[in-house]
Amino acid sequence: MYLLPSLFTLGNMFCGYACVVYAMRGEFETAAPFIGFAIVLDMLDGRIARLTGTASDFGVQFDSLADVISFGIAPAILSFSWGLQPLGRLGWAAGFLFVTAAAMRLARFNLQAAGGGDKRYFVGMPSPAAAAVPAATVYAYPWAFYDYREALPVLAMVLVPAMLMVSTIRFRSFKTIDLQARRPYRVLLLIAAAYMRR
């Protein structure tokens, strides 16, 4: 085990755990950002391992287990505590489907990575991106739902990313984009235009 990348993975897992604890307390505005912190730490652990030459099979498996917590269980419990609870068993089922989809997505990713597939694309929505959907929604609207009819749209917030995770849709990976290569000036203008739209 290499300590440096494992510390980032451990931080990722802690953020998932903290999200669950705060969600169970009903402190949704505090809980949701922890998924965002976990995403940042998840991006860093692999990069740190590659930069320092400390990548290992243990690190890959540890990272996947941490991701199941931070991008599967944590967003599911956050979503259930915030908006799925009034739906009873239907809410339970939706949350569990999200966890299942995240675990399947991560297992499939590990198999594809070991098989040496096309690294430019992910097959299925990456679990951190899927977890960001409920996290961002809850952070923007931190008031919990208590009425059955109000809670129904929350199903879409949970089930659509879950289905995208296990889909065969290809999502572009930004890991292979070469930021050091020379680009035409118009690329910078397009980025500036995208900022202005905000």
For 2-19, what is the mean pLDDT?
A: 93
pLDDT mean across residues, the chain: 87
For 148-169, what is the mean pLDDT?
A: 92
Which residue, among 132, 186, 121, has the nearest Cα to 157 in the 3D structure?
132
In the predicted model, is pLDDT for residue 110 greater than 50?
yes
In the predicted model, is pLDDT for residue 182 greater than 90?
no
> Domain 3-197 in CATH: superfamily?
CDP-alcohol phosphotransferase transmembrane (TM) domain (1.20.120.1760)
Q: Tokens in use for 105? A: 């997505």
Q: Within 13 Å and on the Cβ side, how many CA atoms surround 77? A: 22
Cβ neighbors of 98 (< 8 A, separation 6 or more) are 72, 75, 76, 79, 130, 158, 159, 161, 162
- 100 CB burial (10 A radius; 0-12, 13-18, 19+): middle
What pLDDT was estimated at residue 194? 55
In the predicted model, is pLDDT for residue 116 greater than 60?
yes
Share of the chain above pLDDT 90, in %: 60
What pLDDT was estimated at residue 104? 95
Q: What is the pTM of this model?
A: 0.84
> pLDDT grade, residue 198 (50/70/90)?
very low
